[in-house]
Chains A and B, each alone.
Chain A
Amino acid sequence: MKSESVTRSIMIPFILLSLFCHSSQDGNTGEHVVLLCGPKNLTLKSWDQTIQATWEDDPSCSAVKEELVYELLVLVRDQQVHHDLVTVTPEQIGLSHLWTWTSHRALECDSPSVLLSVRYRNYTSPRRQEGTLPGMTNSSDPEVYPRDPVFQVGSRATFCCVLPAGGTFTDMYLVGYNRSEGNITKINNQTYSLSLVLNQPSSPSGTDVKCEATIHQQPTDNGVTAFIGYPPDDRELQCETRDLESVECQWTVGRDTHLPTQYQLVGSAYECFQRTCRGKEDVSTGERSWKLRAHNELGTVELTDSADLMTRVHMLAPESVTGSTVNHRDARLKWSWKVQGYKDLNLTCEVNLSHAGPQKPNSGVGLDSTVLMNLIPNWSYNVTVRCRTTQHPWKWSSWSSTFNFHTKGDVPDALDVWMKMKDNEILIIWKILLEKQSHGHVLDYTVTWSNIRGTEQHNTTTVTHNHVTLRLDTTQQYVVNVTARNVNGSSSPSTIITPSSSSAGLNPTGVRGSRMAGGGGGFNVSWSSSPAASCGYIVDWCPSSSPSTVTWIKVPQTNVFLKNLREGQRYSVSISACTRGAALLLETREGYVQEQRIQGDLFRALRSKQTGSEVELSWDQIPLTEQTAFIQGYVLEWSDRDQQDNNTAVHNVSTDEPTSTSLTASDLKTSSYTFTVKARTALGECCSKQLIVHVNSGTDNWIRTVVISLAAVFSVLTLVSVVCCRQWACIKQKVYPPIPRPLLTDTWLRSTGERSLHVDQGPSEVDIMDAPQLLRKPGAQVNQPPPNLPPPLRSLPAPAGLPSSPFRGAFQNLSYDLMMQTEDQQPPEGHTAEYPAPTPPLDTAQEEPGSHMTCDLTYILVPQPVLCKFTPLMN
């Protein structure tokens, strides 16, 4: 009842007022009513940088039968910063209205006002409402706004710093940004704004925005932490089952948002962690769908997926992989399943074998074993297994843990044998077996050969290296078998038939040889097909400088690319036809993959030889190892060194013979010449070497010969003279011996005519015997003085251990101390020729019978006794 009376008390004046207006305006009463139409109950709210305004229509607006247009003006310090219109349809009149607007600047910085007015048709109501957001409360520190904002990378942000009263602004910046990137604006004495483009995502702890100021003479600062990142952009949700009991949903995570991002699988109780959501599920329910929501402060992304989980079985890896049987060339693998449900599924499993790669997959229900074929004997293998369902292949399981096994050993594989002929020798060579071919350590190789006709016995030799040289009768063909042996036995023999000299065989003589050019790191060799080739062709090649390092390849076609060859190395390539008998050499080639400029000293032993007016320069044969390009010839240039001007003529001579080792310059004058020798290659001249030669005239040579001859003669004569001078005494003794004066005594004068007869006939035997002191008596001791010799003047002490002798000091060198009686030393008249003389150390064996005295020409050395007879001569 009370409410009814209140309503009446309100309605009655309203009705009366309406009636009054209606009657007084003569038909314009409606306009008078709507004059009162306007907003009421305007309220403002704000969060972050958003203003929300709510208001209602004045009841008078209900009379307006047309749409109302509310105009909102946002004012900051009486300046309009935003203008907006809100249209209210007649049906909405009387309801509450809502308007929001987001400022680019923190609202705390501006304290904006909202002015709300309404108009309809062309009439603007005078009724307005204004609201103002409360400003920030006063603080003792600078305050930065907005607080803890979130921005997207690349967006423009505006921060403001509100100083306390009396504060002085110093600076405002974002940590990690250049100061120049921001634009600072003074809004009023207490407010400053910083505007900049945020081009760097923030760290997990945000990016600080700092405002520095001076407050009460104290520098201080404050700030806020902004987060700058990206909205989520995850994609590709995929749900699957691994254990047939639960579901795993995964998705591709987009770029790092740099913001906390929540993930939720909508409508499920799945637990989400990082990039996976998991939950228990009945996998046999058929098709179903999932929705993932990724959300952060900058946005939300929803991903969906739908599938029958039995078509999305992502198996777990096989467990406990082992080899149940391991043989020489096969093995059987077994594994187990952690999920028992897998045993009912049709599975396809793939085995990855080290050195061999993935094997052909096997399939079967609950597959848990497989057999590996074609394994290499004596070989270590690592094997892993992975599986997936056969009926609905979804994803392979991850690879199982590795199982290692080693196959049993076996005899070696057959050898690849080839041969090279040179003169009468045949080099049988075979490729060393690789580890996967030898099946164990090769102990030795056995080479067996016999005449192809079988008329000879088998010859056998065993070697440990990969070649053997046979000296065979080249008129016949031989069958050569080579086997390799390891601890498991010998390989099957590899047979090669040697050609006979009567056939073309492999003898390069008479076979067409040519040069070839390489490219791309090798030679592209092609040749004409041969009707003799019944089993393909054999191409062998080696560096021309080392034929023993030959290698070969057997090909069915008539071309091959030989690769991995060195540039600047000359290679010899032979092409042979493979026949049922001996191989037939078709052609040989020689070339470089790429010729390189010859480096180094090519003409190492360059020498010259003048013959008349010609000078021949020669050098050693240039080894192939130094020829990094084909030498096409040599050039010899020379110029006269005595003509130093620029117009000096340079002469040259050349040869196109690569094997040449000399060149001759002719018509040379007597002068000094500079000779330059060079090699010519396809890359130009190279290896220049100079030699300076002085060319002499013929007269000069004659004079030189004469001078040398005269000098030689003079030298000989001088030598003879010196020798003669030094040995003059002996020479004189031999050529002109002193003649002792005859001793004429009375006795002698009274002697018979028989004695006179002795004198006339020269020294008699008796006279010779008259000099007994010079002869050593048989059996007399050497160095023993004759009885009538006077005692020595001095005596030197005898060396220890030797018997003392009074003559040891006086006759140190008996040959040197030999005394020779000259004319001047002859005894005085009246004396006989029996003068004392030291006994020379004569060897009785060398002593000639009848000799009287020795004389040594080279007495300083070992005495060479010369017998000098003291023959009394008559004056």
Chain B
Amino acid sequence: MPDVHALVNDFLIKLKRRKIEGSKATAKVTAEVLRSFISQQRLPNTNQAGALIDAVKAVGEQLIAANPVELAVGNVVRRVLHIIREEDLSLTAAAIGGLSLSAGSDDEDDVGHDEHPALSAAAVAAAARSTLRPPSLQTLLEDVPHTAAVPHTSSSGGDSEGKSKSADKNSSTKRLKHNVIEAVNELIQDIVTCHEQIAEQAVEHIHQNEVILTLGSSRTVVEFLCAAKEKKRSFRVFVAEGAPRYQGHTLAKELVTRGLQTTVITDSAVFAMISRVNMVIVGAHAVMANGGVIAPVGLNMVALAAQRHAVPFVVLAGIHKLCPLYPHNPEVLLNELRSPSELLDFGEFSDCLDFGSGSGSPILHVVNPAFDYVPPNLVSLFITDTGGHNPSYMYRLIADYYSANDLVLQRRSAS
């Protein structure tokens, strides 16, 4: 137990100090931390799922608060909560099914589950989703007065039914945790391999002699382009360097070593070059439910230029980047201002910065935001590991991965 706390605290500090960068790395570490947290969690006999959800939520809140801009943390926390709910649901479904079929077959059913646990979680979850959703809609409707009357426990409202049903299933005490951990493992696996799945689709999107523009650096984009290259497509890539972090340089270097024809341009030349570009392929920081994209700074400009020249603007995003929230004023609220030293030499301008002449407000501001918001109407296509999607479809895709009960995680701390 203490080492889990240490683990969480360590991660918290890293997040706060922005030691972990990149949504993918963050998502992976978050999932790992949550996994060890769940495995260490001691569960009561009754209402296991509810207890687990509450515990995970408590940790998740801290993690999100540590770096509210890194939406991947919240996404993974929500995913884990969703997994817990689904596992719980599948267990109860199995139990109900077992009960309804025959009391005697109960043991067989359990044995059957134990034989292939890794497969069971996903399969049963999917089955539960398909079989239980329609009735659950009904229960949801029936539950309306119930949840409305008790808004505080709305999050555990779903659990209450689980509690009542799982109460008689003492044998599933360990199974829930086990299944959840298996599912989280799968999630981690998904996060790690998401770019491979995205890259598989590359040949469908890149044709011979294409000219592709990208900005900044993204592992997914590199894999995507290289996958197309490996399939004997020859095309050219323009890389905007992505000041002030100049990640484009590393991207260009990587592409060159893999044998791609690469041209590095300044960010300011994006508009000049985009008229000769066939497609813009970029990575994202996060994808919002409305189809908007939180992306590295500068991409809004690129998207506008692409729209002007009717160039497709394609965003590659692993599922851990899908955020179930609808953004409000994301340019400001979901942004982060980085150090001015990336833009200006302090040594040179320190006298200017001190020029405030006692009025309190400095005469020189340096604005160095980290992210841009690309509205959905500028995005032509999202390519996720489940395939290509319209921006307008993202909300539905997201609904598959998250439970509606978890959308607001910070509610309790606020109330």
Q: A and B: partners?
A: no
A residues contacting B by CB (< 8 A) are none
